[in-house]
Amino acid sequence: MTIQTSKNIESGQGNISAARIHEYNSPLVIEDVQKPIISTPEGVLLKVGAAGLCHSDLHLIYGHWQKALPIKLPSIPGHEVAGWVEDTGISVPTSIKKGDLVAVFGGWGCGYCLYCKRGDEQMCQQAKWPGLSEYDGGFSEYILVPSYRFLVKPGEQPTLMKPEQIAPLTDAGLTPYRAIKKVRHLLGPNKFVAVVGIGGLGFYGTQYARIFGSGANVIAMDRSEAKLKMGTEIAGADFAVNISEPHEIKNKVKKITKGKGIDVILDTVGSENTINIGANSLSKSGTMVLVGLFGKEVKMPLFQTVLNEYQIYGSLWGNYNELCEVIELAKNGIIKHQVQKFSLSEVNEAIDLLVTGNIDGRAVIVP
């Protein structure tokens, strides 16, 4: 049984422009699709203001995740979305109204399982993520959000915030935030924390390492001097280590940390290479948090893992409250943005630049 549930019955009529995957490992097709219709009392229709482009989109588009995350094609990617409310379902409270600029929390959980009930909806077994499930994502003029409970209003001064600043916060800004929060109790005045990979996530991660570091020394690690510069000069890292020459890393780390090694490593890449660099750089009691998905395996030396009491954490995206906290940091000017804008028709160009490592910060599609 379907019931008419939107407040404005005409909001879902007509066609809109969107970028879709038609087959894996091919360019996205920019084409007309039907405008989505609010189908639940809590649903909200948004006019997309901006949608970030993520390495996860590449994994999806290239078909790496056909088995792990099967979706039906054609499908619109884009799970990092901010936009304006266009119409609302009949149960949506009046605090969410037409014209509001909102961020979309993408971990759309069932609301009823252990994980949803503890507030980690992104961990839900039955989570449906926009652009990564049967729900279409944000590389489109409009997006349908199944419940207002997945929206965050940046609040009183929305004029200060543009959608292209908000959108990246919902994943590039959120994922390293959760990761750093998992280890904040390990940071402090005489600790060293490194962020590996100063791309979309690492740029924010470096800033969080400083903000949550409680006086810890922050090290940026990347193969690109330009990104290292961004890490130190904009994001606030104290040290930069170029990891393109593996044999020099150990000595550099030794020198910076006065021989003790790095206490906490946030790896936003997750390649065999970066995990190995981390494993060789950890201090006693050292901790590695993994959010990047480039590799296949986590490999650590057993003897050192036990004798040094290493800890290795996987960390997945972030939850709703964490997104609110990230947005609060942005509102208060505590974190900086670094975005490159592309129109919807330039989406394949943006993908190519991301693949070749030529995006500084986050690429954002502005339909």
- Asked if residue 331 lies in contact with residue 310, where contact means CB atoms within 8 angstroms, the answer is no
Which of 172, 170, 201 has its CA nearest to residue 103? 170
Residue 344 DSSP label: G
Through-space distance between the first and last CA atoms of the chain, rounded to whole angstroms: 34
- The one among 8, 126, 190, 343 contacting a second copy by CB under 8 A: 190
DSSP string, 302-325: HHHHHHTT-EEEE--S--HHHHHH
- The one among 58, 313, 336, 346 contacting a second copy by CB under 8 A: 313
62 is a contact residue toward a second copy (CB under 8 A): no
- The one among 9, 160, 226, 334 contacting a second copy by CB under 8 A: 334
Please identify, among the stretches 9-17, 108-116, 223-231, 349-357, the one whose residues bind a second copy according to the rule CB under 8 A: 108-116
- Asked if residue 12 lies in contact with residue 39, where contact means CB atoms within 8 angstroms, the answer is no
Which of 296, 313, 61 has its CA nearest to residue 181? 313
Residue 36 CB, shortest distance to a second copy, in Å, is: 20
Residue 312 CB, shortest distance to a second copy, in Å, is: 4
Q: Which amino acid is at 358?
A: N
- Asked if residue 137 lies in contact with residue 79, where contact means CB atoms within 8 angstroms, the answer is yes
- The one among 130, 320, 354, 364 contacting a second copy by CB under 8 A: 320
Take residue 314 and report the two structure tokens written for it.
Answer: 């996987």
Please identify, among the stretches 78-86, 180-188, 243-251, 356-364, the one whose residues bind a second copy according to the rule CB under 8 A: 180-188
270 is a contact residue toward a second copy (CB under 8 A): yes
Which of 154, 97, 104 has its CA nearest to residue 131? 104
115 is a contact residue toward a second copy (CB under 8 A): yes
90 by Cβ neighbours in 10 Å (0-12 / 13-18 / 19+) ranks as: middle
- The one among 123, 186, 234, 366 contacting a second copy by CB under 8 A: 123
139 is a contact residue toward a second copy (CB under 8 A): no
Nearest residue (CB) to a second copy, 95 versus 245: 95
Residue ranges that bind a second copy, judged by CB under 8 A = 1, 3, 41, 68, 90, 93, 111-112, 114-115, 117-119, 123, 125, 148-149, 184-185, 188-190, 211-212, 214-215, 270, 275, 284-285, 290-293, 295-316, 319-321, 324-326, 328-329, 332, 334
